[in-house]
Structure 1
């Protein structure tokens, strides 16, 4: 069933007090910047989240912090600040802000400078650094929400990689794609062949394009199995997890291979940051198409063209057999589809099919949480007593026909 305009706005909008943005701000930790992007005493990094601007930085002693971009004094950008002696010093008048967001020096103030600094009002945000990511809680109060201890957050650095890129479309388009199993065998047909070779289980997705979907609700969202019939009475089952509000945890392409977490965090109404975390819980990750990133803040690459040029699609390559003409990266293919949907996808005139069940559940859970927030409640999926993010483990495999796919999940 197609959405109304009002439902689409509630689902997608995050700026200027929009309920979805305020719900996320209050009840979820937000990935802000890859840890590798921050250098001790290095340049501050501009971070835009939910339509507001911040700067992230690493102090002399290695701690990470996030503060409002504008200096609390005369409101110039702290992007230009000197990062020194465990704080950012504004180059306009020398006010210094520490890693907790407090003003600790105001050299142009006559009299008791320490007492003056204590009276300066600033926003202060909770920051955690785990899993190669600096996370921030932008909410109000003294009690932050439960941290999303996903399966990669405690792994050593050599068992994971983190990369991200800014994409000029609404965030929900990215979130939906992470749970859209039927697009993989079509959009990523050539990418799968290039990266997986001929013997990888993932190749089954390029042959059986219409999976049967079975769902199971979980305290953090849901998990589902995409079931594809194979010859010889076998079934290829891929069990993936959706974790509120934006994490798509995708199973490894084969036994002992690396899993991937895709997530799309809202920068503003028409821009999001696409994140790719590649991880292997059992051994070193090594060099992969995800870990071989030249820039953790700007990778994978966006499509190389505009709408007028079909976003730079290479038709000559398609004539030679490439399925999409976007050879740069699996993510580039996805980004081209998001761009093709427009800045904010119009869901009021879609014509959906059986393969869209997982996408519909993503929308339903996000809307349910936003409506609970509007009603003054803590969203159920943000504070469930049984909430255990570490159990969001995705797995795939070939099973005899008729076998319950949960057998796979129980071995994870």
Structure 2
């Protein structure tokens, strides 16, 4: 059944006090910027989240701060500020804020400057620098939500890479794609062939395009098995996890290989930041397409064109056998699909099929949570006593037909 216009608005909107944006602000840590983007005493970075602008910076001693972009004094951008001596100094009048969001100097004030600074009203945000990402909690109160201890967070730097890209579409389009197993064998057919290598189990997805889906609710969201029949009385099973509100944890292409976490965080109603965390819990990641990128703030690349030329699709390459005409990266193929859906996808006229069960569950989890929030309750999936993000482990493998796919997870 298609979604109503009202539910589509509730699902997607995050700006200007929208319920979904306020629910996320209060009950979730938000990835803000890759850690490597911030250099001690280096240039601050603009971060836009939920329709508002912030500035992130690393101080002399290595601490990280996230502040409202505008100086509390005369409201000019702190992006132009001098990052020096463990604080960000506005170049307009010299007011200085530390990583905790406290005003520590107001040199143009006559009188007891220290006492004056204590009474300047500022928003202060909790920040964590973990797993190669700077995270921020934008909520109100003294007790932040449980931190998302996802499987990559505690790994050493050599075992993970973090990249991201700003995409001019709504965030939910990206979240849905991370849980859409049936698109992989079609949209990413050529990318899989190019990158998978001989014998890689991921190639099975290009041969069995209609997986059977089985689901299991979890305290953080759900996990599901995409089961694909093979020709010799075996099945290929990919067990993936959806972690509220936006994490898609995807199984490794083969045993002891690297896994990926895809997540799409809302910049504003019509923009999201797509994140790609590539990690290997077993050994150093080594050199990969993701870890080799020269710009962790703008990778994978966006499609090279606009709607007037099908977003830069290379039809000549398609004639030579490429499935999509977007050879740049798997992520570029996804971005082209999001752009083709429009700034905010219209879900009111969709005609869904059996393969869309995981996408529907994403929407159901988000809508259930925001409605609980509207009713004045903490969303169940944000505060279950059994909530343990470390349990969101995704695995894959070939099993005898008729086997229980849960055997894969017990062996992980």
In the superposition, the TM-score normalised over structure 1's length comes to 1.00
- 2:409 & 2:136 partners in 1: Cα distance? 31
| Matched-pair contact (CA < 8 Å) for 1:49–1:268 | yes
1:174 corresponds to 2:167: no
- 2:303 & 2:294 partners in 1: Cα distance? 17
SS at match of 1:164: strand
- 1:196 & 1:232 partners in 2: Cα distance? 22
Match of 2:12 in 1: 12
SS at match of 1:249: strand
Match of 2:292 in 1: 292
Within a 5 Å distance, the mapping from 1:166-205 to structure 2 comes to 166-205=166-205
Tell me by how many angstroms 1:177 deviates. 0.1
Match of 2:151 in 1: 151
Match of 2:265 in 1: 265
| Matched-pair contact (CA < 8 Å) for 1:28–1:145 | yes
1:240 corresponds to 2:246: no
Match of 1:138 in 2: 138
- 1:98 & 1:234 partners in 2: Cα distance? 59
SS at match of 1:114: helix
- 2:394 & 2:363 partners in 1: Cα distance? 20
CA deviations 1:201-227 (Å, max 9, x no partner) are 000000000000000000000000000
- 2:294 & 2:228 partners in 1: Cα distance? 36
Tell me by how many angstroms 1:185 deviates. 0.1
CA deviations 1:291-317 (Å, max 9, x no partner) are 121100000000000001000000000
Match of 1:21 in 2: 21
1:165 corresponds to 2:168: no
The alignment yields a C-alpha RMSD, in angstroms, of: 0.4
Q: Which runs of 5+ in 2 are unaligned?
A: none
SS at match of 2:298: coil
Which stretch of the first structure deviates more once superposed, 290-299 or 249-258?
290-299
1:66 corresponds to 2:76: no
1:368 corresponds to 2:343: no
- 2:235 & 2:76 partners in 1: Cα distance? 60
Tell me by how many angstroms 1:290 deviates. 1.8
Tell me by how many angstroms 1:197 deviates. 2.0
| Alignment coverage as a number of residue pairs | 412
Q: Which runs of 5+ in 1 are unaligned?
A: none
SS at match of 1:100: coil
- 1:232 & 1:119 partners in 2: Cα distance? 73
Match of 1:311 in 2: 311
Match of 2:99 in 1: 99
- 1:118 & 1:21 partners in 2: Cα distance? 30
CA deviations 1:102-130 (Å, max 9, x no partner) are 10000000000000000100000000011
- 1:293 & 1:18 partners in 2: Cα distance? 35
| Matched-pair contact (CA < 8 Å) for 1:195–1:289 | no
Match of 1:37 in 2: 37
SS at match of 2:118: helix
CA deviations 1:252-274 (Å, max 9, x no partner) are 00000000000000000000000
- 2:293 & 2:355 partners in 1: Cα distance? 32
- 1:345 & 1:296 partners in 2: Cα distance? 27
SS at match of 1:260: strand
Match of 1:50 in 2: 50
SS at match of 2:277: strand
SS at match of 2:232: coil
- 1:286 & 1:189 partners in 2: Cα distance? 24
Match of 2:79 in 1: 79
Match of 1:321 in 2: 321
Tell me by how many angstroms 1:198 deviates. 2.9
- 2:19 & 2:236 partners in 1: Cα distance? 40
Match of 1:118 in 2: 118
Match of 2:352 in 1: 352
Tell me by how many angstroms 1:2 deviates. 0.4
Tell me by how many angstroms 1:171 deviates. 0.1
SS at match of 1:348: helix
- 2:37 & 2:349 partners in 1: Cα distance? 41
CA deviations 1:32-70 (Å, max 9, x no partner) are 000000000000000000000000000000011100000
- 2:249 & 2:239 partners in 1: Cα distance? 9
| Matched-pair contact (CA < 8 Å) for 1:82–1:91 | yes
Match of 2:207 in 1: 207
Match of 1:397 in 2: 397
- 2:287 & 2:356 partners in 1: Cα distance? 33
